[in-house]
Amino acid sequence: MEYVEGKPLKGPIELNEALTLGGQILDALDAAHRKGITHRDLSRAIILVNKNGVKVLDFGLAKMEHAPAPDGVTKTQPLTSEGSILGTLQYMSPEQVEGKEADARSDIFAFGAVLYEMITGKPAFEGRSQASLIASILKDQATAGKRTATGEPESSGPGGADVPGEKIRSGAGNRRAK
C-alpha cells in the first residue's frame, strides 16, 4: 500500500482556496470518469491536501465500466449487489440511498456536498439518525449559506455572497455527467 502524505480536507476554508482545491478534485473525478470509473464514495475524509494540491483516495467502492464488447454493448462490473447501500451516507446521492445505479452524476452530487462543506464548514445534509439523514438527502436541498466580502462564512444577515447550496440537486437528471 502506498503512503500518501497530506492532511484531510476540512472546512470552512477561504473561498478562493476552496475553489482552487475544488477544481483539482473535479480534475481527479474527470480523469476517473474518462476511464469509466465512478468513485461512489467521495467524501471530505478521503481527500488529502498536501503541498502539491489534493489527492482523491479510496476507490474501494468504485464501479468500473469496461470497453464495449464485440456486440457493441458496454459492460459494467459492479462491486456491490443491486439495492445495496454502501458509502459515506452524508455525501451519497439520492439514487445511491435508494439503492439505485450510481454513475458519474452521483460523484458530482458528492462533490457538491464536499464543496458546500469546504465553504461553510457544515454538512450539506444533516439528520439525527441515518433514517432522517436519508430523508433529508431525498427531499431537501442544501440551504445557501452566506459569506462576508472577505470570503469568511457568515452565520446570518446581509452583505454576504450566497454559497451555492441550491446547486446540490436531488434528482440525477439535474446533474450533468460531462
Which one is catalytic: 30, 41, 58, 107?
41
CATH class assigned to 7-65+74-174: mainly alpha
User: Is 162 among the catalytic positions?
Assistant: no
Question: What are the cell numbers at 85?
Answer: 447501500
Decide if 51 contacts 57 (C-beta within 8 A): no
Is 65 in a helix, a strand, or coil?
Answer: strand
pLDDT of residue 152: 59
CA torsion through residues 106, 108, 114, 120, sign: negative
Euclidean distance between CA atoms 172 and 169, whole angstroms: 8
Write out the chain's pLDDT in tens, 178 residues: 788 899 999 889 999 999 999 999 999 999 999 999 999 899 999 999 999 999 999 887 888 886 555 666 655 555 555 666 778 999 999 999 998 888 999 999 999 999 999 999 999 999 999 999 999 999 988 876 655 555 555 654 334 445 554 445 556 666 556 5
DSSP conformation letters of 112-170: HHHHHHHHHSS-SS--SSHHHHHHHHHH--PPP-EE-TTS-EESSSTTPEEP-GGGS-S
Predicted pLDDT at 104: 93
- Spans of all domains in the chain: 7-65+74-174
